[in-house]
Structure 1
Amino acid sequence: MSLTLDEVRKVAKLARLEMSDADLATMQKQLSAILDYVDQLGQLNTDGVEPLAHPLPVANVFREDVIGTCLTPDEALANAPNRLADFFGVPAVFDTDEPVSH
């Protein structure tokens, strides 16, 4: 599947990327090659093949969740630029007069 320059330009715009014409031409070739490869994979016969979450056998490698020492609120907020009681003070996100519920 070959992408047009306009399609690559649209993808770059959606990704918020500014690209020169030379970069667009390079990306057109590379993205088209990727889509051609995906198309090849789509043509493979996968009847009887179970879907996998991961191609390798993976075991849980997480450690035991053990309670450790925690920072006190004063330690955690020592470098906070704005502190409201035991919380970080942040600028308001919503422009509303309604009370904030927690």
Structure 2
Amino acid sequence: MGGQFEKGRWVEEPTQQASATGSPDDLTERLSQAKASFGKGLDELLSVGKELLTTQEGRKHIGRSMDQTGAEIMGTLEETARKATEYISSVLEQKRKD
């Protein structure tokens, strides 16, 4: 899908539709190209996955990602604990006032 900005708004360009009189060979060729493209992408993904697991650089990358994710999880847990503590404190404070 393509488009462009016109007067500050994104306007989609009309997509090309295969005409009813279009050649079945055209569609077959496009399907073949799409399969090849998908296959190439899948091969590349598998290759990168293998590198991540079998090379020192790949394992370091995984380690850094795990460290970052762990830090984000800890930050989220600490924030949740802080909010829970504040909520419990406010409930207890309200109970004391009643």
User: What range is the shorter-chain TM-score in?
Assistant: under 0.3
Larger radius of gyration: 2
Name the structure with the higher helix share. Answer: 2
**TM-score of the pair, normalised by structure 2:** 0.27
Larger RCO of the pair (alpha carbons < 8 Å, separation 6+): 1
The answer to which structure has the higher strand fraction is 2
TM-score by length of 1: 0.27
